[in-house]
Amino acid sequence: MAKINLLPWRQEYRAQKQKEFQQVAVLVVIATVVSVFMWMKTVDAQIANQEQRNQLLNTEIAALNKQVREIKDLKKRRQELIDRMRVIQELQGNRPLAVRYFDEMVRAAPEGLWLTHLKRTGKTLKVSGVAESNNRVSSFMRSLDQSEWFQSPNLTGVTARPEFGEQASAFEMTVNVSRRKTEDKSADGANNGA
């Protein structure tokens, strides 16, 4: 039998396989490096894109916050204007009431009774005066109680004043002022009917 030396053929075969392995390994490393590079570029591009979007959102949020502050300021100014208008309307509506109160006070005062002092605090009117007799004060209180503009007269003090007459006395009283009672009743009726 002939002896064939296969050793060089095996070495060549191994060298060729090792060379192919090294080539494949180099290709895999190159492909991996290219893939990692491309992946990093893609991620960097996405991060840059997201940062740009975030910046746009922050700019828009700042603009909207500014608009919200302006709207709040406008609402505050609007409420202040509404409050001022309400005060002006109340003042204009209440302006003729002082004349009505004085007119009704004069109508309610009987002969022989003089008013010396009137002071209004809120809805309470403090009245001081002098009467020829206590009956005149009682008559005055009844007239005020029946008045459309006054209610709940309350006598707080009576002192004798003989220098004005034998039965003369000085008096002090409080009375509540209001809008006309007929207006109040019609307003209550409208509210109850609504």
Choosing from 77, 107, 137, the residue where a domain stops is: 107
CA distance 190 to 194: 6
pLDDT (tens digit, 9 = 90+) per residue, 115-139? 888 888 878 889 888 888 888 888 8
CA distance 11 to 131: 146
- Domain membership of residue 2 (yes or no) is no
pLDDT (tens digit, 9 = 90+) per residue, 81-112? 999 999 888 777 766 777 777 788 888 888 88
Range of the domain at 115: 109-193
CA distance 81 to 94: 20
Distance from the Cα of residue 173 to its chain's centroid: 41
Q: Can you tell me the mean pLDDT for 176-183?
A: 66
Bridge partners of residue 124, in order along the sequence? 121, 176
- At residue 161, the pLDDT reads 79
pLDDT higher than 70, residue 5? no
CA distance 162 to 168: 6
Beta strand 169-177 pairing with 124-131: antiparallel
Query: Does one domain contain both 27 and 87?
Result: yes
- Domain membership of residue 75 (yes or no) is yes
What percent of the chain has a predicted confidence (pLDDT) above 90? Answer: 37
Phi-psi region of 152 (alpha: psi -120 to 50; beta: other; left: phi over 0): left
Query: Does one domain contain both 149 and 180?
Result: yes
| DSSP 3-state of 45 | helix
Query: Does one domain contain both 97 and 127?
Result: no
